[in-house]
Amino acid sequence: MSPRAGARPALLAALLVALGSAACAHGSHAVYDQANPSMETPMSQAQATTTVEGDGVRLEASFDHAAGGPLRVRYRVHNTGSADLAVFDRGDRHAVLTGRHGAGEVGEPGFREDGQGGLELRHAARPLPQPAPTLPPTPLAARVAPGQSLEGHFSFSPLVGDQPRRLRWCLGVAPFNERQFRSPDGSGDVEVWQASFELSESQQLLCTPWFDAASGTFAAD
- pLDDT the model gives residue 163: 80
To the question of pTM greater than 0.85 for the whole model, the response is: no
How does pLDDT run along the chain (221 residues), one tens digit per residue?
A: 444 444 444 433 443 333 333 333 322 222 212 222 333 333 334 489 999 999 999 999 999 988 778 999 999 999 999 999 999 999 999 999 999 999 999 999 999 998 888 999 999 999 999 999 999 999 999 999 999 999 999 999 876 667 889 999 999 999 999 999 999 999 998 999 999 999 999 999 999 999 999 899 999 86
- pLDDT the model gives residue 116: 85
Residues 157, 125: Cα–Cα separation, whole Å: 22
- pLDDT the model gives residue 160: 62
Residues 28, 109: Cα–Cα separation, whole Å: 54
Residue 30 included in any domain: no
Residue 73 included in any domain: yes
Range of the domain at 201: 48-218
Residue 38 included in any domain: no
Residue 4 included in any domain: no
What does DSSP assign to residue 149? E
What is the arrangement of strands in the sheet containing 57-66, beginning at the earlier edge strand?
A: 45-54, 57-66, 71-79, 149-156
Q: How many CB atoms lie within 10 A of CB 97?
A: 12
Residue 5 included in any domain: no
- pLDDT the model gives residue 158: 76
Show the CA angle centred on residue 42, arms to residues 39 and 46, nearest 5°.
Answer: 165
Residue 58 included in any domain: yes
- pLDDT the model gives residue 144: 98
Residue 72 included in any domain: yes
Residue 174 included in any domain: yes
Q: How many CB atoms lie within 10 A of CB 54?
A: 17
Domain count across the chain: 1
Of 56, 53, 163, 75, which is closest to residue 123 (Cα–Cα)? 75
